[in-house]
A and B are shown apart, each in its own frame.
Chain A
């Protein structure tokens, strides 16, 4: 497992993400969050982990953790086909743009989010959005659940193979009340 950026040139400058060495760390961060949100990109229906699509792992995780989900690109329909209604769907740029606005009260109007989980956007696109949030939403903590290290996040899993990734997601899900 490596804590170098997955795409070699996506180097950090003065700030670099903390590495999530084990899934329990991510769980702890999420449990401590007052208003977490999970943003799921189009890769959720393209990445297969140990015979299951990533989206299925994420639905399990969302059910267990009760973290609201925003589907980007066109994948809201894929969630709904599986009987899961995301809290919202919008383009990745739109959600990024709202998150840098401290006055945005969230999808439910109950207040700003404090922890944002990202997964399954194209690597470079996710990297740019994370950079935007790092600079312009400094109070927000960002966590990536991909198997590719994202230096511009606050916390990121290291680069890993799909087997480890699958295991991490399963462990995370199991650590929430709804996942037991």
Chain B
């Protein structure tokens, strides 16, 4: 490891050589490299180091751009009209502008994760010291930071070692952001390559954050049996004061929980979380509760359940403080990135802050000291709960009817709804006294509140929906498995071979936010389907919560029903957003631990290995954020395809292969150097799908890899064909592209499929040792 700013000061020292007095030595940098693994070719890659690799992928998966805006308005030359081939005043085309926006989104996402990690590492070093050892899985984990090792060529051992990793990440994000400036990059594929680069950096930033918090906060450490935790508003004991934290950075919530523990109050209050903070609260404290994903914010606040609202960072509704004020719940903004306009009271005595919040003198405060957040939140919650008495702003049923009667039937609520929900019909039914149709919207509403913003008569439509579903809301009781963190090395050893040979049909990572097109049940259904098919199903973030929000006939959630092991048929929650790094880490560890590929600064070879061998696919069914864009970009560079639900089309650019262009699908056979056509495996790198059914067919297809053995390919094809038949009512038309030898064909379908292949002029081919990298060819044929 490299350490910076080493200082040695000797006041007085007598030695045989002489007497030393007031000696001060300062060393700018000290390199301690005890890691035996030789450094690979690309440690700490810069903007263009991996450009050739990116271009290999981008030439196969060409961008399909769908601009959200015809104009560029980023500089004062503009606005510039870029429609139909026109260039802007700076010379930029719409393709380049579209990819520039993609890069910008990825920079925002990567900066957000990395800044989150920087804040946590800084705070944890202050609290625990820079020499605090990293431990994310005890003896079960030797490769503690696979992404950091791969990208940076660094093996971090202590919290302090993470500083250098973050220095590198921050530098690269700054470099990449500079590319977006007017008059820099002009080629769309170069913008795309840099988006991949920032995505890779995003994974580094996430990994640093999660291994720092797992090591210091005593989270489950790569634990397949991480505890089952309660989830849903119905699990909250509303006889107690309730503190609700929203966001992603657990540090202030830790302050709250520690204060409660130190003062023997841990059974006197409820601490609940929304969005990823909720995951990390339950990783830290098994009595913490998850309320739900990001879209539950308005429901919970307006329902009056929270006595104190603590806002940290990321994905927090920017009007959360206004909403909290309506229900008389004081707000504590606890992040420098999200001050909410409140006065900074960090240095004021806690007694004064508590008095001001309880009396209502101020609706909220900014406190940047997590310990003080803890004390203030707890004391305020205790005092204000009996005064608030769960005050809420939901109308009574008769008021719902009266409000509905004021509707002008303009339909603007539906036209502003991202889901195109039939709100007007529901309001019309409410006018007649029936709340049934409003209630039916509850499951599909993403809680954005746009319907209210546009309503010309100010009907609080979202509140009407919540009221109509009040019973469901208060009875929401389900389970989630606390985020387990990383995947153990031994788990990787156990599944490495069947994954690479294709006998475990795939790894499905169901990740991301809750902007679902038709409610969350699709997520749970997809997870169950693939766990039953013996895929490894990994979840994280809001999707992990949604996966646990539905029960089977026996009343079990997926986490009760399936094992939390990284094994065929397991459904495991790795944790919050930053824990997504463990999913990429698992793919990297397959290459390193199972296949013994060197990891250190060896990005291209590892990505080539994953791309050709590890049948993994990400599904972000409700992805909405720039962070999700950055996470996806990190997976693209590793060669892992990502599917998004229909709202994902708003990312404005897909990376699509062309199955009909045979020439796009050649790889080298590393054994001989011959080019071998392996078909579209995987067919796409980034794809929007329209329906749950289509998603399932694509998941099975995108797990196909050139390296599959005949047995593995046969298993994968049997899932692909079966899902096709079930959802499309037909045998896949592209089957001939994935069958290399008759042995690839699932046994029970052999005769039928051979007939189809004959009709398609199919020819047998070999199964290569696939690589896209000429340097990986072991023996070139003359």
Residues on A lying within 8 angstroms of B by beta carbon are: 6-9, 12-15, 41-42, 72-74, 76-78, 80-81, 89, 91-94, 96-98, 100-101, 104, 121-125, 128-129, 131-132, 134-136, 138
Contacts and interface: CB of A to CB of B under 8 A. Distances in A.
A77 B730 contact: yes
Contacts of B687: 91, 93
B649 A77 contact: no
Given A6-B415, A7-B420, A124-B649, A42 B654 contact: no
B517 interface: yes
B418 to A, nearest CB: 7
Q: Which 8 A-B pairs have the closest CB atoms?
A: A77-B729, A13-B70, A132-B66, A74-B693, A73-B690, A128-B66, A138-B84, A97-B64
Interface string B37-61: 0000000000000000000000000
A136 B83 CA distance: 9
Contact of A132 (B67, B69, B454, B517): B67
Contacts of B754: none
B727 A14 contact: no
Contact of B66 (A6, A74, A131): A131
A93 B64 contact: yes
Given A73-B693, A125-B649, A125-B688, A131 B64 contact: no
A54 B730 CA distance: 22
6 contacts: A42-B690, A76-B728, A76-B730, A97-B656, A124-B650, A135-B70
A134 B84 contact: yes
A132 B95 CA distance: 10
B698 A91 contact: yes
A104 B687 CA distance: 20
Q: Give the interface residue-count category, chain B.
A: 35 or more
Given A9-B416, A101-B658, A125-B690, 18 more contacts: A8-B416, A12-B70, A13-B69, A14-B81, A42-B690, A72-B694, A73-B691, A80-B730, A89-B728, A89-B733, A92-B688, A122-B646, A122-B690, A123-B420, A128-B66, A128-B650, A129-B66, A134-B84
B711 interface: no
A15 B690 contact: no
B727 to A, nearest CB: 5
Given A73-B694, A125-B688, A13 B81 contact: yes
B689 A91 contact: yes
B85 interface: yes
Contacts of A72: 690, 694
Contact of B697 (A74, A80, A93, A129): A74
A138 B83 CA distance: 9
B729 A81 contact: yes
A135 B649 contact: no
A13 B71 contact: yes
A114 B222 CA distance: 56
Nearest to B64: A97
A15 B83 contact: yes
Contact of A93 (B654, B660, B733): B654
B686 to A, nearest CB: 9
B455 to A, nearest CB: 12
Interface centre among A76, A96, A97, A98 (most CB of B within 10 A): A97
A93 B656 contact: yes
Nearest to A135: B94
Contacts of B85: 138
A128 B416 contact: no
Contacts of A13: 69-71, 81, 83
Contacts of B698: 91
A92 B687 CA distance: 10
Interface centre among A14, A89, A101 (most CB of B within 10 A): A14
A135 B646 contact: no
A8 B415 contact: yes
Contacts of B647: 124
Interface centre among A101, A129, A131, A135 (most CB of B within 10 A): A135
B67 A8 contact: no
Contacts of A100: 64
A165 B517 CA distance: 24
B729 A76 contact: yes
Contact of B689 (A73, A89, A97): A73
Nearest to B85: A138
A11 B602 CA distance: 46
A122 B516 CA distance: 13
B297 to A, nearest CB: 21
Contacts of B391: none
A115 B691 CA distance: 26
Contacts of B66: 96, 128-129, 131-132
B30 interface: no
B757 to A, nearest CB: 19
Contacts of A42: 690-691, 694
A11 B517 CA distance: 21
A135 B95 CA distance: 9
B652 interface: yes
A129 B690 CA distance: 12
Contact of A124 (B65, B418, B658, B691): B418
A135 B84 contact: yes
B767 interface: no
B1 interface: no
B68 interface: yes
B89 interface: no
A74 B65 contact: no
A94 B690 CA distance: 12
B355 interface: no
Contacts of B691: 42, 73-74
A159 B420 CA distance: 14
Contacts of A78: 729
A19 B691 CA distance: 29
A76 B691 CA distance: 13
A74 B692 CA distance: 9
B412 interface: yes
Contact of B690 (A41, A76, A128): A41
A2 to B, nearest CB: 10
Nearest to A77: B729
B507 to A, nearest CB: 22
Nearest to A88: B733
B645 to A, nearest CB: 10
Contacts of A138: 84-85
A15 B729 CA distance: 40
B65 A122 contact: no
B656 A94 contact: yes
Contacts of A93: 64, 649, 654, 656, 687-688
Given A80-B730, A91-B687, A93-B654, A128 B68 contact: yes
A34 to B, nearest CB: 21
Contacts of A76: 728-730
A86 to B, nearest CB: 10
Interface in B641-688: 646-647, 649-650, 652, 654, 656, 658, 660, 687-688
A101 B664 CA distance: 15
B729 A96 contact: no
Given A7-B415, A13-B81, A97-B656, A77 B727 contact: yes
Nearest to B82: A135
A15 B693 CA distance: 35
A97 to B, nearest CB: 4
Interface in B393-450: 412, 415-416, 418, 420
A8 B95 CA distance: 26
Nearest to B94: A135
Interface centre among B415, B420, B652, B688 (most CB of A within 10 A): B415
Contacts of A91: 687-690, 694, 698
Nearest to A109: B660
A136 to B, nearest CB: 6
Contacts of B68: 128, 131
B64 A77 contact: no
B70 A124 contact: no
B692 to A, nearest CB: 9
